[in-house]
Structure 1
Amino acid sequence: MARILVTDGMDKKAAAQLKEMGHELVEQHYAPEELKEELKSFDAVIVRSATKVRQEIIDAALETKQLKLIIRAGVGLDNIDVPYAMENGIQVNNTPNASSASVAELAIGHMFAISRYIHISNVTMRNGEWNKKAYKGIELAGKTLGLIGFGRIAKETAKKAHALGMKVLYTNRSGAKEGYDQYTFVSMDELLKKSDFISLHIPFNKEAGAVLSTKEFEMMKDGVYLVNCARGGVVDEEALIEALDSGKVAAAAVDVFEEEPTKNQKLYTHEKVSLTPHIGASTKEAQARIGEEIVDIVKNFFA
């Protein structure tokens, strides 16, 4: 049976199942230098977003060649040097199906928050302020939502937005998708120009950098609303702050940041920004589904 390290926590039921299957489970978070040493004695490691498995970590594990499997308990793999691990005989898996509904619900929730001033009125009322006249919002129904990326989470978001009466546009590197005729595939430029709300659903590519920066903000409608529950870095934070200050962006919702925990005080104190601390997949239901996927991955890999 396998010796498995869980660095960022996991669903208790799933952990119990792995132990029942005979695997040794160690649930402990390590700093990078400690992780280099500890990983040498494990067959598999399960991480979330907090633990980074970079080349130097993998190199250390390769000294004993015991590590055979890395599991990302979530969707994004940008905290793992996947090609390098795979080239060196270490399998990398994620759990792509588990959190789609949860992240989509958070994105929609943020749209309600910024369109109806829920985010800021919740703060000002606690300060004893009654700013009723200042908080004239807009309805989601009848507005155009542009989705950048059209994977599992974006499709869930589209379904929920469509049910609310929104017109949905999407752009995707692989082109239009069959079976989604209720939504409209457009180019990136057209999406930026036509959308009242824009929501990102793409991974972060370090080499490519931000997908939305000054040039892209200039193409958007005046008073557009922006939601990022995808990955930190896909939106240039400084360019976003400038767009918020100028009024180009009416309000933004941000769940993911260039640096986490974020130290960007201009962003996290901005009255036009609705904030959450990277909680897209943080529901009981999503974590249970992630746990189920992890159990299946481990079961199949070490069969």
Structure 2
Amino acid sequence: MFKIQTLNKIDPIGLKNFPLDNYEIASEFSTPDAIVVRSQKMHDLELPSSLKAIARAGAGVNNIPIEKCTDKGIVVFNTPGANAHAVKELTIAGLLLASRDIAASIEWAKTLIGKGDEVPALVEAGKKNFGGQEIRGKTLAVIGLGAIGVLVANAAQALGMNVLGYDPFISVKHAWKLSRNVKQAEGMESLLANADYVTLQIPLSAETKGFINKDKFKMMKDGVRLMNFARGGLVNNEDLKVAIESGKVARYVTDFPDEEVLKMDKVISIPHLGASTAESETNCAVMAVDQVREYLENGNIVNSVNFPSAEMERNGGVRIIIANKNVPNMVSQISSTLASEGMNISNMLNRNKAEIAYNIIDIDRKETDPVITEKLAAIEGVIMVRVIQ
């Protein structure tokens, strides 16, 4: 029986994918096999030795101690693309909010309450204060062409915008989905110099923190409109304030406001609604649960942020999974250890990601002696061993 601990409220439709005859689900467990989480911060939580996997029902994993998990052999999953359509729709709404002074005009209209028959005339007289521009024919720069970036680029192009895309690491899968009318920018400077609108669709990391800063603002047109529906921290707040005050940035729309941003003029702050749709929460939960099940039951890894992708069909016998440091001679030592116990390998898969290697090994046996786990774990460099009967 696998124990699944939930942090935050996880969509019940997704949790139903855990069969009750083999899974127990609760918000409190002292020895969980896996954790399914949304936004709760886990950096200060103790990670029990029983923990094998953490699944984030969403794309960002800032709330999970990735390095600590890797050292303990805990596989961390996320659900890229599950909330892509929800974020795409809000980003398109952000485009329109940045172009037309919709938010301010709505607030102004409320001030007319109590004016009675004067309201229509006051509306006609006041609307000139909330003019804007159309997005059709304008140029949008999409930075990051992952699942969300591709959808945003295609949608903006369909709305009549000229779209420039920039992503030096775009995958073949996402490239196939990108409209042929979306043009590839030659570099960051030419991308920003030609853009009337800029949208960020990249993850937050040590390399991308403060990605939009004074140097990037210098490359942009005066009066540019900037949108951030990706992650807080991608835009340097101090440099943004200067850019707004100088007129370099006409409008900043973000789904990740903080105290500094909330105080700025010409900023539209949305309270992190990107993935807050019923459909998105269901999709994220279903994907997270399915990935955890596949790992716990078969050792297969899909969409991990700290372990390599690895999938292999079962042969009906015992399966051994091993994580180790990505150093020479590990496969040889593992094979020799299994051979010393008279175990014949019927199939084997070895994958690596950065400093971690991951092995799936199928054995021509229906069961194994527990001593083999101890011997494999004793090999220097091995981080985790698990036997799946």
TM-score range (shorter-chain normalised) is 0.7 to 0.9
Which of 259, 262, 268 is equivalent to 1:263?
259
Q: Which residue of 1 aligns with 2:41?
A: 52
Q: Secondary structure at the match of 1:302?
A: helix
The alpha carbon displacement at 1:71 in A equals 0.6
Alignment of 1:92-111 (within 5 A): 92-111=76-95
Kindly state the Cα deviation for residue 21 of structure 1 after the two structures are TM-superposed.
Answer: 5.1
Give the distance between the partners of 1:143 and 1:296, measured in 2 at CA: 41
Tell me if 1:300 matches 2:289: no
User: Is the Cα contact below 8 Å between 2:5 and 2:32 reproduced in 1?
Assistant: yes
Residues 253-292 of structure 1: matches in 2 within 5 Å?
253-257=253-257, 262-264=258-260, 267-292=261-286
Q: Of 120, 123, 129, which aligns to 2:107?
A: 123
Distance in 2 separating the partners of 1:220 and 1:43:
49
- Residue equivalent to 2:309: none
Q: TM-score, normalised by structure 1?
A: 0.86
Give the corresponding residue for 2:334.
Answer: none
SS at match of 1:18: coil
Aligned to 1:183: 182
* Aligned partners of 1:140 and 1:166 also within 8 Å: yes
Give how far 1:302 is off. 2.4
Q: Distance in 2 between the 1:53 and 1:80 partners?
A: 5
Equivalent pair of 1:120/1:272 in contact (CA under 8 Å): no
Hey, what does 1:33 align to over in structure 2?
Answer: none
- Specify the code of the residue in structure 2 equivalent to 1:240: L
Match of 1:146 in 2: 141
Task: Extract unaligned runs of 5+ from structure 1.
Answer: 29-37
TM-score with structure 2 setting the length: 0.68
1:43 equivalent in alignment to 2:39: no
- Residues 1:168 and 2:167 aligned together: no
Aligned to 1:32: none
Helix, strand or coil at the partner of 1:20: coil
Equivalent residue for 1:232?
A: 232
2:33 is aligned with what amino acid?
A: D
Deviations 1:91-143 (A, max 9, x none): 11011121111101100001111211112212222233853111111111101
Q: Which amino acid aligns with 2:295?
A: F
Gaps of 5+ in 2: 113-121, 298-389
1:124 partner letter: W
Which deviates the most, 154-163 or 206-215?
206-215
- For 1:288 and 1:70, the matched residues in 2 are separated by 18
Give, in angstroms, the shift of residue 26 of structure 1: 2.1
Q: 1:9 to 1:175 in 2, by over 3 A?
A: closer
2:382 is matched with: none
Within 1, Cα distance between the matches of 2:290 and 2:275?
19
Task: Tell me the distance in 1 between the aligned counterparts of 2:183 and 2:138.
Answer: 14
Judge which range, 153-162 or 73-82, deviates more. 73-82
How far apart are residue 150 of structure 1 and its match? 0.9
Q: Identity over aligned residues, as a percent?
A: 35
Q: How far apart are 1:169 and its partner, in Å? A: 0.5
Question: Secondary structure of 1:252's partner?
Answer: strand
Q: How many pairs were matched up?
A: 281
Q: 1:207 deviation in Å?
A: 5.2
Q: Secondary structure at the match of 2:221?
A: coil
CA contact 1:175–1:185 (8 Å) conserved in 2:
no
Is 1:194 the counterpart of 2:194 in the alignment? yes
* Backbone CA RMSD of aligned residues: 2.1
Find the partner of 1:137 among 121, 132, 138. 132
Please show how residues 232-251 of structure 1 align to structure 2 within 5 Å. 232-251=232-251
Partner of 1:31: none
- Cα distance in structure 1, aligned partners of 2:171 and 2:146: 12
Letter in 2 for 1:184: K
Q: Is the 8 A contact 2:154 2:182 kept in 1?
A: no
3-state SS of paired residue (2:55): strand
Distance 1:207 1:139 in 2: 34
AA paired with 2:91?
A: A
Deviates more, 1:218-227 or 1:199-208: 199-208
| 1:274–1:208 Cα change, 3 Å | closer
Q: CA deviation at 1:160?
A: 0.7
